[in-house]
Structure 1
Amino acid sequence: MEILLIGAVALLAAGLTFFSGFGIGTILMPVFALFFPVPMAIAATAVVHVANNLFKFGLMAKDADWRVVARFGIPAAFAALGGAMLLTLFDRLPVLAGYRLGPATFHVTPVKAVIGVLIMVFALLEFWPRFQSVTFAPRWLPLGGALSGFFGGLSGNQGALRSAFLLKAGLSKEAFIATGIVSAVIVDASRLLGYGIGFMADQFTRSVDLAAPVLVGTVCACLGSYAGMRLLQKVTFVAVRIVVAAGMLVIGLGLITGLL
């Protein structure tokens, strides 16, 4: 039962989030957590996330704007490493608020609140007609990469901020998606270096029960991404912008309220 549910969610999430460049981990982790302890669910989701990004890299890398990747992705990688290394320090900051919904308890942390506000500001700006014609000068791309990479290393939530900056980089829809994918792979590699792979290896050696769900989740996520790529020619950049902005609003609200 868990394999079917994980596979179905991975397939749908990867297809739906192909255009936005973020969200699959946010959607998939709670499903893994229904059947496995949270640390193991996080590790399993990380493996599916990285594998799917590598698969998308193979599909779309040829469309990436490598000048933007250099200006955006490289600062993001260094900042992600710094954010990952500071994770323990920031994790000690006091919780801003906490509440219960049924049997579950949710906490609002300073880091998630800051990221959530930033993401929602960018999302709301995307719905402002005058802002849609704005583009960021190339000199701002390293700052955008550093911000998204740092918060990605610190909390794992970097896709929404990355998309917010790349939307204004003057890219075509293909280049926007491909450049985001390449940047995500770079940041994932940097984050894994910062976190270390010891935790993940330790968790996976504890239970062979994760092997099949992770394999099915990875295969289904790749199939979803492939389906998304096939649909790419049928959507407009305006549609991509709306999907990204709506996803940013959901992610930002989830972070601010402590639900994510």
Structure 2
Amino acid sequence: MEFLIPSTVALLASLLTFFSGFGLGTLLLPAFALFFPVEQAVAMTAVVHFLNNLFKLALTGRHLDRGVLLRFGVPAVAASLLGAWLLVKLAGAAPAFGWSGFGRSFNVTPVELVVGVLLLAFASVDLVPRWRDASFDPRWMPLGGVLSGFFGGLTGMQGALRSAFLSRAGLDKHAFIGTGVALACLIDFSRLGVYAGSFRAQMHALDYGALASAVLAATLGALLGNRLLHKVTMPGVQRAVAVMLFVVAVGMMSGLL
């Protein structure tokens, strides 16, 4: 089961997140954590996430928008380093609140609460008709990069805010996916450099069979997503982003994620 469940989640999550631009790590981490210690689950999820993004970049990178990549990516990378550094400093900080249920205790940190509210606000945009077709002016891209990178480095969920901005950047579906994947690779690379010290001790104890199985399954999910891309419209992508933003926001604000 330590092979089957994470691999199945990796395949389905990779397919779904091919269009939404985020969520693979969010969905895969709990699947790994069912069978491995949390530290190993985090390390395995990080490896699958990074390798899957590299593969998606090979599939879609030719469609990326270089202007958006620079305006969004440079501030994002810088802010992700600051967020990752702050994460190390805030380790062990007291939660904002907690609750118990299903035989478990759930805690919500102040950072998770703030990010959850932000994501819920972005998800709600699709519910207001006059905002549904709105797009961000290019001058707001650096702000989007700072928010995405900083909270990505701080919480590990860098894709949600990135997709919220890029889905409103006036890009077509190919440029949205290609640019988002390129940005994900940049931010993953920068924050993993900060996390490397924490992961080093775990890399020797990983179950490489389960890891390889999940990597292959996620790769297959990306291939399927690429094959289905011609059937998807940009409004469909925006709806997928809104649904995923809502799910992640509720999960973070409740302590379930």
TM-score category (smaller protein):
over 0.9
2:222 is aligned with 1:225: yes
For 1:150, the equivalent position in structure 2 comes to: 150
- Residue 205 of structure 1 corresponds to 204
Partner of 2:42: 42
Give 3-state SS (helix, strand or coil) of 2:21's partner: coil
| Whole-angstrom distance in 2 between the partners of 1:182 and 1:249 | 24
Partner amino acid for 2:222?
S
Instruction: Give the TM-score, by structure 1 length.
Output: 0.96
Could you tell me how far apart the structure 1 residues matched to 2:186 and 2:45 are? 18
Partner of 2:107, secondary structure, is strand
CA RMSD of aligned residues (A): 1.1
Residues 83-102 of structure 1 mapped to structure 2, 5 A cutoff: 83-102=83-102
Give CA deviations for 1:80-113 in whole Å, capped at 9, x if unaligned. Answer: 0010011133335421111122332110110000
- Superposed CA deviations along residues 146-199 of structure 1, whole A, max 9, x for unmatched, are 11100000010121100111111110011011111101101101101222x232
Q: What amino acid maps onto 1:226 in structure 2?
A: L
Letter in 1 for 2:238: R
**What is the aligned partner in structure 1 of residue 51 from structure 2?**
51
In 1, Cα distance between the equivalents of 2:172 and 2:210?
A: 36
Q: How many residues align?
A: 257
CA distance in 2, matches of 1:201, 1:213: 18
Aligned match for 1:252, one of 244, 249, 252: 249
Q: Does 1:8 align with 2:5?
A: no
State how far apart, in whole Å, the 1-side matches of 2:209 and 2:103 are.
Answer: 29
1:231-255: CA deviation from partner (whole Å, max 9, x where unpaired): 0100111111111100000000100
8 Å CA contact retained: 1:127, 1:245: no
**Can you give the 5+ residue segments of structure 1 that lack an aligned partner in the other structure?**
none
Retained in 2: the 8 A contact 1:93–1:110? no
1:160 alignment partner, SS class:
helix
- Please say if residues 44 and 214 of structure 1, whose CA atoms lie closer than 8 Å, have aligned partners that are also in contact: yes
Instruction: Give % identity.
Output: 50
CA contact (8 A) 2:40 2:205 kept: no
Q: Name the aligned partner's letter for residue 42 of structure 2.
A: I
Say whether residues 1:214 and 2:188 are aligned partners.
no
8 Å contact from structure 1 (residues 112, 256) kept in 2: yes
Please list every run of 5 or more consecutive structure 2 residues that lacks an aligned counterpart in the other structure: none
Report the Cα distance in structure 2 between the residues aligned to 1:83 and 1:192, rounded to whole angstroms. Answer: 12
Match of 1:175 in 2: 175
CA distance in structure 2 between the aligned counterparts of 1:98 and 1:133, rounded to whole angstroms: 37
Counterpart in 2 of 1:192? 192
